[in-house]
Every structure is written in structure tokens, then in C-alpha cells.
Structure 1
């Protein structure tokens, strides 16, 4: 199956400043691609290049198999939903949704049919005669999405569409967008700085930093096998613990030695990773450090840790300790008996850990 969107060796410069560097991405029909990264990483610029709102400096961009590198935005068969909604304040909701069709000369019967269909999908039928000033933020977002949906384009582009909404409404709209994607089977490209949003919505994630793609993969691949220290630290809440450690090879596996806050070492034995350099960064998710008395994975190695702080959070309790000179967080069960200032035996699931090279930051296993 040919990709709907294919980007090859794309560069974008402003004068002598490189904003995007050698971008290569391809997505299949029905994919939900999320571009994620910190502010200034180039994700919105890349979306604007896909839309044709920004000319590219070098490379190639194809939509539906057609070269769109120098094609006008109106001829790219895309629909865009902006962060600011970009609704006409003097027009009703119905007029905002159908205006683009009217400009393109679509007959009135087709306009009415598409409007009714989209309004039902987004549950905005009671709002059709209102103007944007009479709507809440969530309602305006639905109208902006409705205007895109009536286009029935090859590609939907979303530029941080939920960033103006409060936390509760963000979660609700995120669920609606995901449900809409499943229902339509549409191909979407979505920009966000929120890694939870990225993990929740995407079928494929592109993690960016400094105009460079750090990793492309499914949410599971990005979360469980981060390609480097930046991805490991950026994706996940709380973030992956990144602990300086020593790896010493033995006949029955590799000993991973980590220094506690009192200077004493804890030793974990990893039978699966034997070719590690002496100095490594051990990456372990908070949920993969368990209370040994409550749960232990098959590949778990137990170690006594000194607890510095305990943070109850409903179903979970976060225990913070210092290992390898770094603050390390364990996501424990709410029934844990861990207390600040006391030692606690914790189980590290070595079947799920990552190892990184301290010099390059690249994944080793």
C-alpha cells in the first residue's frame, strides 16, 4: 500500500539557520501520526511544510503519491485544524462549516447533506445557528473539526488543537478525536508538546528535538525501547529513571552496581545483557520498581533502598530515593509500607530495563 504522506530528506532554513534537518517520514492510509517534542523543536514548522504554508528549502514531500513540494496549499487535498480555531466571528456555526464548500462551488444540496452528517458525528446540531462568541472552547473546537471533516481530504492536519482547553476538557476532546479517527479511518497528522496526548492518540509517534527526528515508532516502541536518553526522559510521566551504574560481566550474567545515597552499593544481576560497557546509564520506568512484598516480576531483582520521600497519589504511591547520585522514583501500590528515612526492599524488573551509553546517549540493548 502506497504511503499517503511521504517526506524525503526535507530541510527547512530561515536564512543561515537550519530549522528542520534531513526529515524522513512515511505514513500509511489510516495512520494517526503525532509529532511531539519540546517548544522550538520544529514540529509546527514541519506541519506547516506539509500544509504548504511554509516553503521547504530542500527535499521532497508527496501526498497521495503526488509531488506536492511546490504545490499551493489549496491544491494539496488537506484540511487543517488550528490551535486558535480560526472561526469567522460574524458567521453562524453552520456557515463556518459550509463556507469553504460554498467558495469551491459545491451545490447547496451537497452542502446541506455534509453539514447534517458532520453535525451528527460531532453532536453539534443544537449549535448550528449560534455564532462562535456564544460557544465554549470545546464547542468551538468541534466546529473547527467539523469544517475540516466536510472537506473529506486525503490528510487531516491538527496544530495543537487542545492546548487552549482546560485539563478536563482536554481529556474529553482527546477521547473524541481518537473515536473519530477510528470511525472515519482517516489519515491524521497531529502536533503536540504533550507526551501523554501523543501516547494516547497515535498509531505512530515522531519524537523531535532541535529540528532532528530522534525516534519514529509506535507508542509501545517509543515507551518501552527509547532510542536515546532524550526520548527516554521526554516520553513518560513520571519520566524514566536514568541511573548511572557500573556493568561487570560474569559467567552467569552481568552485575549492575549502583551507589545508594549512603555510599553503599546495590547489586542487580541481569542474565540477558552480557555485552555492556563498564559505564552505563540504567533506564527503568517507575512502574518497573515494585514493592518486593506486594509484587515481583519473573525477571525482578531485589535490592534494599533508602527511601527519601513518599508521595501518596490515590491508587499509587510514589517513593523517591537517591541512586547513582540521581533522584529515582518508584510507582508503588497504595498499600505499600514504604516510609521516608527507612530502608525498603524493592524489586527491579530487569526484563524491561534499558541501557544507554553515557557519552552518546544512545541505546545499548
Structure 2
């Protein structure tokens, strides 16, 4: 299958300041690519380069197998949905959605047909006669999406489309966009700084920092096998615990030593990772630290830990302790007996841990 979007060796700078550095990404038809990273990492600039709204300083952008690097935005066969909705306030919802088709001289019957289809897909039929000022934020976002959908483009581009909505509505709209992608099988590129949004929507995630791609992968790959400390810390809520530790191999296994605030160090025995340097950073997700009574299994290792803080959170209870000089969070069941100031026997799933180099930050296993 030919890539619907292919970006090769892309560079973008403003004067001496490099914004994007050697970007290489490709997606197949029907993929949902999410560009994620902190503010200022270059993700929106990259989206604007794909759209043709920003010229590039080097490299190539191909859409549907055609070189679009220097082609104007209107000839790229893309549709863009902005954070600000960008609706015409004096036009009805129906006219906002069909305006682009009217400008291009598309027959009224085709306009009506596409409008009816899109209104049904987005469940906005009752809103068609209203003006944008009479709509809620979520309804406006649907109209902006409708305007993109009637174009039936090769590529949909979304620039933080949900960031103006409140938390509950964001979750609803996220589900809606995911369902829409599944129904249409459309190819989408989506920018967000919200890693939960990235994990739930994407078929492929690009994690960016300071204009450089840190990792490309499926949500599961990014979450379970982060390429470096930045990705490990950025993706996941709560974030992955990153604990300084010492590793000592004895040929058949590796002893992982972690200092404790009180008492002797914790020693865990890892039988799978045998070639680790002495100094490592142990990465373990909060859900991979459980009450010992609730967790068994071949890779489970138990240790006594003094709990500093207990945070009930409905279905989960978060327990915070100090290990390796860092605050470490465990995601425990709501029924846990964990109590602040008291030692609790916890189990770490060593089958799911990551190891990183303290000097380079890169993954070691």
C-alpha cells in the first residue's frame, strides 16, 4: 500500500532558529497519526508545513504519492480543522458547511447531498438553520468538522481541535472523532499536547521535543516500550516512575538495588535483562506496582515499602513512597489497606519494566 502522506528529511527554520530538524514520517491510507509533545515542540508548525501554510527550508512532503512540497494549500487535497473553529458568524450552519463547495462551483444537488450526509454523520441536522453564535463550543466544533468532511479530501488535518472545550465535552468529542474515523476510514493527522488524547485516538503516534522526533509507534509501543526518558515521562498519566538504581549481573540474573528512605535497600532479581550497566534508571508504570496479595505471576517481585501519602481516586487508590530518592507512585485497588506512614508489602511486575541510561536517557532493554 502506498503511503498517503510521506515526509522526508524535512527542515524548517526562522532565520537562525531551527524549528523542525530532519523530520521523517509516513502514514498509510486510513491511519490516524497524532503529533504530540509539549508547547513549542514544533508539532503545529509541522502540521502547517503539511497543509502548505508554512514554506519548508529543506526536504519533501508527498500526499497521495505526489510531491506537494511547493504546491499551494488549495491544491493539496487536504481539509483542516482549527482550534478556533473559524466559522462565518453571519452564515447559517448549512451555509458554513457548503460555502467551500459553492465557491468551487459545485452543483446545488451535490451540495445538498453532501450536506445531508455530513449532518447525519455528525448528528447536527437540528442545527442547520442556526448561526454559530447560537451554538455551544462542542456544536461549533462539529460544524467545523462538517465543513472539512464535505470536501472528502485525501487528508484531514486537525490542529488542537478540542483545546477550547471543557473537560467533559473533550472526552465526548474525542469519542466522536474516534467513531468518525472508524466509520469513514479517512486518513487523519492530529496535533495535541494532551497525551491521553494521543493514546486514545491514534493508530500511530509521533512524540516530539524541540523540533526533533523522539519516537514513532503505536500507542501500545509508545506506552510499553518508550525509547527514552523523555517519552517515558511524557506519555502516561500518572507518568512512569523513573527510579535511579544499581544493576549487578551474576550470569543467570541481574540484581537491581534501589535505596529506601528508611532501612536497607530493596533488591529485585531480574532474570530477563542480564547485560545492564551498573547505573540504570528503572522505569515502572504505576499500575505495575500492586498490593502483594493482589498480584502474582512469574515476573512479580515483592518488597516492603513505607507509604508516605495515600490518594483515593474512585476505582484506584494511588500510594506515594520514596525509592531511590524519588517520589514513586503505585496504582492500587480501591480496597487496598495501604496507610500513610505504614509499611506495605508491594509487588513489582519486572516483566514490564524499562531500563534507561542515566547519561544518554536512551532505553537499554
> TM-score, normalised to structure 2's length?
0.99
Does the aligned pair in 2 maintain the 1:155–1:186 contact within 8 Å? yes
Do 1:238 and 1:286's aligned partners in 2 also have CA atoms closer than 8 Å? yes
Q: Given that residues 290 and 296 in structure 1 are in contact (C-alpha distance below 8 angstroms), is that contact kept between their aligned partners in structure 2?
A: no
Q: In the alignment, which residue of structure 2 is the partner of 1:179?
A: 179
- SS of 1:56's partner is coil
1:136 pairs with 2:136: yes
Matches within 5 A, 1:67-216: 67-216=67-216
- 1:45 matched to which residue of 2? 45
Whether the 8 Å CA contact 2:252–2:274 is kept in 1: the answer is no
Q: Deviations over 1:5-52 (max 9, x none)?
A: 000000000001000000000000000000000000000000000000
- Note the C-alpha offset of 1:173: 0.3
Residues of 2 paired with 1:76 and 1:199: CA distance? 28
- Match of residue 309 from structure 1: 309
**How many Å separate the matches in 2 of 1:121 and 1:180?**
8
Q: What is the deviation of 1:296?
A: 2.4
The corresponding residue for 1:58 is 58
> 1:277 and 2:258 equivalent?
no
- Secondary structure (helix, strand or coil) at the match of 2:351 reads coil
Q: CA deviation at 1:297?
A: 3.2
- C-alpha distance in structure 2 between counterparts of 1:129 and 1:344, whole Å: 62
CA contact (8 A) 1:98 1:147 kept: yes
Alignment of 1:180-259 (within 5 A): 180-259=180-259
Give 1:295 shift. 2.1
Tell me how far apart the structure 2 counterparts of residues 248 and 210 of structure 1 sit (CA, whole Å): 35
Q: For 1:296 and 1:168, how far apart are their aligned partners in 2?
A: 36
How large is the Cα RMSD of the aligned pairs? 0.6
Distance (whole Å) between structure 1 residues aligned to residue 123 and residue 298 of structure 2: 48
Runs of 4+ in 1 over 3 A off after TM superposition: none
3-state SS of paired residue (1:364): coil
- Following TM superposition, by how much is the alpha carbon of 1:284 offset from its aligned partner in structure 2, in angstroms? 0.2
Deviations 1:322-357 (A, max 9, x none): 000000000001111111111111100000000000
Match of 1:297 in 2: 297
8 Å Cα contact 2:93/2:132 also seen in 1:
yes
Q: Tell me the TM-score normalised to structure 1 length.
A: 0.99
